[in-house]
Every structure is written in structure tokens, then in C-alpha cells.
Structure 1
């Protein structure tokens, strides 16, 4: 029997925004030129129901590695669901000064504003980690930006915040993220300055939020816009958002997480006060906070917060001293500290477990910050840098970068014994890229030695150079 196969052609809708500029809807369009005179480009995302007949809210997503398309992909699902345009520069970079990065964002902003119908007073920035910190600085310099969705980071520089230039700050982080407590402290500053703010927490580490969390942040931006009259009040939308949040609060309560439950109820009171009667919500929260479960867990968390503060102070003090004095002898102390964290990370005590994960994230961020400082000097202190990378092999033993840097830097200062030791340690943790090993910077003399090739042959087989025995 003859079968007829029907081919369905799915055509992605697009829109012509300017002469010879066709933007597909529902997908990320990369490398759009800011203008004809600059090499700067940006990525853009338009929801599938986008039309030029009405204005749209927009989030400018910041990524300090200039990976605009990648950054937008993390916000895309939520933006599609909540009806937000997204844009991200491919040219902002952590190697540029703040002023240069702000100018790049400003030029992108102006370009997008000419292309698209942007809703006034619903223009925001967002990002993750360092990108989020930069995103929170932008509204101080670009007054059209009215809010920030900061993922995994607090405000980049609280000292430049001004009560005369308020913006809506929405922070999203895991309670295992080392930025969690900084966000709690940031709220105190924002409240003093009367900046509208919302914080959303979950029990994860330093990672991108799920689509649902980003969509929730976008809904809160809409609610705030409705409260201020920037967006027409939609009671169906408000009621549905309220029910979604209340369902989440109930789920946290059922999971015996009274602190998260209380936090969600508090955020709901902030968001829905302009629209709904909150008497029942206030009563529920008051009853929760009087419960033994809440009091016990709140007290336990505060105790671990205090302990965490002391440990962080120790890490900061000893790291500074060790870097200045090249104190390789103290690597043993750091190894002990990491073994203690490993024990606590396996602890059945919930808040101790979370504290340990935050501390591990904190010490790794502290090391990275110190590496950046050393590398920024006109004359790089190779020994200080080497110490920091040695420390990274202790705090992040499964990450290859630390070992490779120590091998390279040790070869540069002709400390071949150290280089060979870290070569073997690198191969022990599973490194297999033989080509990269033989191309490693500063190792031209090291890699032709019998010792180097013997170690490579032991773990990877087939060393590049023959091993000549005496």
C-alpha cells in the first residue's frame, strides 16, 4: 500500500525592525550591531507573541565574559512566560573599567530603545554572580533602569547607592550560596534607603535560578509597576500570582521548613499590600513565628551564622598573611580546614551542613579575588600567585586549573621539583589531556626531562619524549 507522508514546515515568525534587520521571535538573535560606526554587538530575545503595537518590559542581562547569547538563554524561558524582552551586550567585560562597561551598556540601551517599543519605567537589568553585581550598579548611572534581578549576588557597591536614585532590587540565591548572608545584610541597607526590594531563597548553592524563580521575579516587577501605575492593574493576574506564592509557602511548611515559609509570607506581604487584604496572611505568619519549630530553627540558624562569621574572619586573616609571606608551611592548616568542612557537609545537622557549603564557596571566592588582585599588578608576584593556585588544589581538588597553573608558574621560576609533584597530583585526579600538558606555558625545559615523561607515561601512556634510563 502506498503511503503518503505529509511534511509539516514549522516557520519561525520574525519581525522586520529596521531596514534589512529581521529578528526572529521566540529565539535568541545574536550579534546585532549597536550602530554602523562601532564594532559592539548585542543579543536579543523577543517573546513569540511580540508585536510593535504595544510597549514591552525589558531586562538587560549582564555577563562580564561578553557571552550575551548564553546569558539570555538562562532568562529565556521566564521571559517567554511573562512577556519580557531580553537584551545582552557581547562586549562588557571584567577586564574593562566600570565607566567603559557602563558606556557600552548605555549605547546598547539607546540602540534597543530605537528599535523596539520599550515600556517606560519597566526597564531593568539582571545577571548572575559578577554579572549581577555589575547589573546592580548600572541603575545609579543610567536613570532609565528601574530595577535589578540579581541572581547569586548582593549589590555590587552599596556605597554608591543614593536615596535620590532608588530602584527595585530583587535578589535570588540559595541558602547554601556564600552570598546568602550578604543578601540579608544588603536588605538592611536597601530598607534604610527606602529601596523597594524582594529576596527569594531556596536550598541550593551558587547556581543559576530555575525558570520558575526567574518568572516569579518578573511577576514581582509587574506587581510593583501596577502598584505605581506604570502598568494597568490586572486583578486576575494579581490573584493568580498570589495563589502561586501561597502554594509555595504551604509546600515549604509541609516540608518542615518554617524559616523559608516565614520568609515567603513576608515577601508576599511586601508584594500584595497595595492590592489585597492581608489579614489572614498576617495571622498565619504570626502563628508560625510563635511555633516551637520556628523558634528552635531560627535560634539554630543564628548560632551557625555567628560561628560562620568567626570562621570567615579566620579565613580572611590567614589568607592575607600567607600570601604576603609565601607561607607554604600553612598549606597543611588549610588542608585541615577543608577536611573539617567536608565532615560538616555530610552532617545531618541541617544548618551546619548549609554553613559548611557557604564557607567552601566563600573561601574559593576569596582565593579568586586574591588571584585577580595579584594579576592586576604591573609586576606579577609569581610566588604569591603560585601559593594561591596551590591553595586552590586544596579547596577545589577536582578542578584542574590550580594544578596546571602551579606546574606552569613553578617551571617559570625553575622549581621543577614542585612542578613534577603537582603534575602527578593532577594526573591522580583524572586529568587526561596529554596535548595540553605538552603545550603548557613555561614548561619547555620541564617537558623534555625524563622525570616529566615518566610520570606522563605512568598515568597516560605514550609519553611524547623517550625516557632514557642511565
Structure 2
């Protein structure tokens, strides 16, 4: 019989309501396990195939912004099998919910796993992406023995609450297309300055994306090696060699796909990571091989030029954005739309450094314009400024329905029916199809009974609520 044969075992989990029986899959993801103390919330669990209750296990608690526990547990499967970790992944959605309530639920999940499995209390780790990374990096405030945090694309840092006497390892992972890449590097410098052990990884992705299972596994080796250095895991030379060879193979895959600069940078970081284990000569030889490749220096120079231009462009965008908002300069909306068009063209180019830079700048403009939009909508700013930032948002992010809704609302309140109808149609051109929401726009009640308003909706959605003959 081909394929993997999963092993099953039964555990009893104690809660305030009594014992609960679960059938756990070894070598597979067991989903929808209830969290005592957090009604309605569940988590997914991955137990390695060689799991035995006779030993105490390291555990990684993972947090996905959308509560996709089974997916995030699967991404950590390679690391779990090769490096012996239990993976517990939350199924609760983190978006638009207070961090403190999420942290309480995460703490309940951690407590449940620590009580139910033979976990080494000194080898407890957290990992998360975006909002999940903020939760993961806040949990050391609750669990004081935390051994490490893996933050992907974001983090939470408050120097006032860090226990500098009990440093944990901080691993930052950033997508090369993610505008947060520089923020992640700032977080790493922050922890470095406090003498916390750190490591950094990059992957070919943008914001709100998980890295591949291979990148995650390579990153988890940072936790594993740090535990070995501190005597919390066995110092097995063959095991360490296997970790090194797996990571070296990843560097080689970058070289073979002509990502010479990325491969060289990876080797540079590996040199520091494995400095205690006698692999320096192997790494130096690999670096020399890359240096001899004709396109390496060209890639390196293009990368540096792109980064320098990007940082200058970020500063200019932020200044011009604030200036245009203060003056509600509608004449410059076209200039912003042109910038977006040019960046979209650039991101589709074959030149990797410039393409990644364009992705990051687009993400950055989306972020800063949304930040300004939210602040202005909460403020007492006049209607012209509120309409301006809403129109600007539609130029920068054509897929954001919130800005279109706000323009329709403000225009209706101002008696500007023509503008409201224009942006209703622009919204529907993006493919938006939630009929009900189009009839619940704040301040636009009279407009919704307008025959032309309904005719536009029917033209795009095939039906409308009124005048539907």
C-alpha cells in the first residue's frame, strides 16, 4: 500500500467541564480541538510520526490572521518532523479584534496544550504572520519562560514589558515584496541592542503571505541550535550536520535559480548561525564560487540602488501625501494615479530588484494612505478633506470598497448626486457585488431610491432593489 500510514492515539484533556477524549493523528493534522476557557474557539494540532509520551517535547504555537490553523500547522510540518516539535495552531480569526482578548484566548490554548502533552516548559515557542505575529510576540508577557518568537511580516514590541533577565530568541521573517521588510529589520536591531539572540530570513513573497515550509523549517533551526547551545537539547553532531546540509541545499537552490545575491546573503547569515560547529570553510568556499559568477556583482549593485531609491521615494511620498491632504489638492489625484500605474508596470518587469521594490512601494502607499484615511474619518476634518482622502484611496487602491462607500456617503450628504453615482459605478466596475451593502450606505437613503442609482446597480449586478422593471 503506497502513501503514509498515519498512527492514531487517544488522549484525555482535562477542563473545568471534565475530561474530554480526543483521537490525535501522529504524522497528520488533527483539527478543531476545543480550547477550555475560550468557548467556541478551537485549534489544530500536529504531532510528529515519532512522537512518544516518554520524552518532553518542544512546542511551537502558531497564529494565522484568518484562523487557518490546519494550514499553518501544515506549513510547520517539515520542521516538526525533522527537528521534533509539536505544533499547535489557533483557529481563531485575529483581524479587527482587540489584541488583549486574542492574547487571553491564546494563553488559554497554550495552557491546554501544556497540561495535555509532555511539553518541555523551557522549550515553548510562538510564531505568527502579520496580526498573528503581533500576538506571538506579545505572549512572552504572559508566559515568562518563552524560549523564542518567530515573527513574519510584523511584530509587537514594548520595551517597558520585556524581561531583560530572561531573553528569548527573536526570529524575523520578511517577504522581499513586503514594505514591512525594513520595519522587521528595525525590530531585529531593537532585540540585538538588548542582547537577545536573533536571526533573520527573507522569502519571495509580499505582505499577508506565509513563507514556504522550507523557509519556515530553516528558520526553526535557529530555535533548535539556540536550545542546543544552552544545553536544553542534546548536542548531536550528526543532527546538527543534517540541519546545516538542509539549509545549505536551500542556498544552493537560490544559486541554481540565478538568485546569486540572495544565495550569497543566505550563506553570510549561515556563517554566523553555524559559527560554533566547524562549517566555516564549506561556507566560505560556496561564497567564493558565487563571487566568481559574472552576474553576482550586477545583482548586488542593482539591489543596493533599488533600496536607496526606495527609501528616498518613501520619504517623498509621505511628505507629498500630507501636503496634498492638508490642501485637499484634487488636481494632484492624477499624479498619484500615474505613480500607481508606473509602479504596477515596474513590478511586472523581469528585473528582480526593481520588481520587488515596486511591490514594496505599492504596499507602502496603500498602508500610509489607509492610515491617513482612518485618522481623517475619525477626526473633525471638513468634508473637502474627507472626500479628497477617499478619492485618493480609490486612486491608490482601486479594490478598497470602503473608500467608494465613503465618497458616496459624503457626496449624498453634500447633495452632489453626480459624484455619488460616478463612484457607485466605479465601485461596481471593480467587480464588487454585495447588493445588500449598496442599500445600507450611511447618509445615502434618499439616493438609494433614485431610479438612476438603481439602474446602475442593475446594469452591473443584474438586479436592483427598486425600479427593477
TM range (shorter): 0.7 to 0.9
Structure 1's 225 and 353: CA in aligned 2 closer, same or farther, altered over 3 A?
A: same
**RMSD of aligned alpha carbons:** 3.3
Matches within 5 A, 1:260-299: 260-286=262-288, 288-289=290-291, 293-299=295-301
Q: Who is 1:118 aligned against?
A: 119
- Per-residue deviation, residues 307-327 of structure 1 (Å, max 9, x unmatched): 101111122223333444444
3-state DSSP class of the match of 1:60?
strand
3-state DSSP class of the match of 1:199?
strand
Structure 1, unaligned runs of 5 or more: 1-8
Q: Who is 1:6 aligned against?
A: none
When the two structures are aligned, how many residues end up with a matched partner?
Answer: 454
Q: Who is 2:32 aligned against?
A: 30
Matches within 5 A, 1:342-353: 342-353=344-355
Q: Distance in 2 between matches of 1:179 and 1:213?
A: 18
* Alpha-carbon shift at residue 291 of structure 1 (Å): 6.0
Structure 1's 385 and 48: CA in aligned 2 closer, same or farther, altered over 3 A?
A: farther
Structure 1's 231 and 373: CA in aligned 2 closer, same or farther, altered over 3 A?
A: farther
Q: Who is 1:406 aligned against?
A: 407
Residues 1:174 and 2:175 are matched in the alignment:
yes
* Alpha-carbon shift at residue 288 of structure 1 (Å): 3.7
Q: Who is 1:3 aligned against?
A: none
Q: Who is 1:460 aligned against?
A: 461
Structure 2, unaligned runs of 5 or more: none
Structure 1's 248 and 159: CA in aligned 2 closer, same or farther, altered over 3 A?
A: same
- Per-residue deviation, residues 142-192 of structure 1 (Å, max 9, x unmatched): 322221111223x43375567544221222222111122333344444333
Q: Aligned to 2:252, which of 222, 244, 250? A: 250
Q: Any conservation in 1 of the 2:76–2:216 contact (CA below 8 Å)?
A: no
Residues 1:157 and 2:153 are matched in the alignment:
no
Matches within 5 A, 1:220-231: 220-231=222-233
* Alpha-carbon shift at residue 246 of structure 1 (Å): 1.4
* Alpha-carbon shift at residue 463 of structure 1 (Å): 3.4
Matches within 5 A, 1:135-154: 135-140=136-141, 142-153=143-154
Q: Which deviates more, 173-182 or 69-78?
A: 69-78
Q: Any conservation in 1 of the 2:94–2:102 contact (CA below 8 Å)?
A: yes
- Per-residue deviation, residues 361-409 of structure 1 (Å, max 9, x unmatched): 111122333344456x487987655544433322222444433443345
Q: Distance in 2 between matches of 1:64 and 1:230?
A: 31
Structure 1's 103 and 448: CA in aligned 2 closer, same or farther, altered over 3 A?
A: same
Q: Distance in 1 between matches of 2:23 and 2:326?
A: 54
Q: Who is 1:339 aligned against?
A: 341
Q: Aligned to 1:311, which of 313, 333, 350? A: 313
Residues 1:17 and 2:13 are matched in the alignment:
yes
* Alpha-carbon shift at residue 120 of structure 1 (Å): 2.6
3-state DSSP class of the match of 1:466?
coil
* Alpha-carbon shift at residue 54 of structure 1 (Å): 2.3
* Alpha-carbon shift at residue 201 of structure 1 (Å): 1.7
- Per-residue deviation, residues 235-278 of structure 1 (Å, max 9, x unmatched): 33322222221122122222222221112212322332233342
Give TM-score scaled by structure 2 length. 0.84
- Per-residue deviation, residues 107-149 of structure 1 (Å, max 9, x unmatched): 4433432233221321111111132134224335532222111
Q: Distance in 1 between matches of 2:78 and 2:245?
A: 18
Q: Who is 1:4 aligned against?
A: none
3-state DSSP class of the match of 1:445?
helix
Q: Distance in 2 between matches of 1:446 and 1:321?
A: 33
Structure 1's 156 and 382: CA in aligned 2 closer, same or farther, altered over 3 A?
A: farther
3-state DSSP class of the match of 2:206?
coil
* Alpha-carbon shift at residue 72 of structure 1 (Å): 4.1
3-state DSSP class of the match of 2:315?
helix
Moved over 6 A (4+): 378-383
* Alpha-carbon shift at residue 230 of structure 1 (Å): 0.8
3-state DSSP class of the match of 2:211?
coil
Matches within 5 A, 1:201-220: 201-206=202-207, 207-220=209-222
- Per-residue deviation, residues 63-103 of structure 1 (Å, max 9, x unmatched): 566x36367456453465343231437386654265x5545
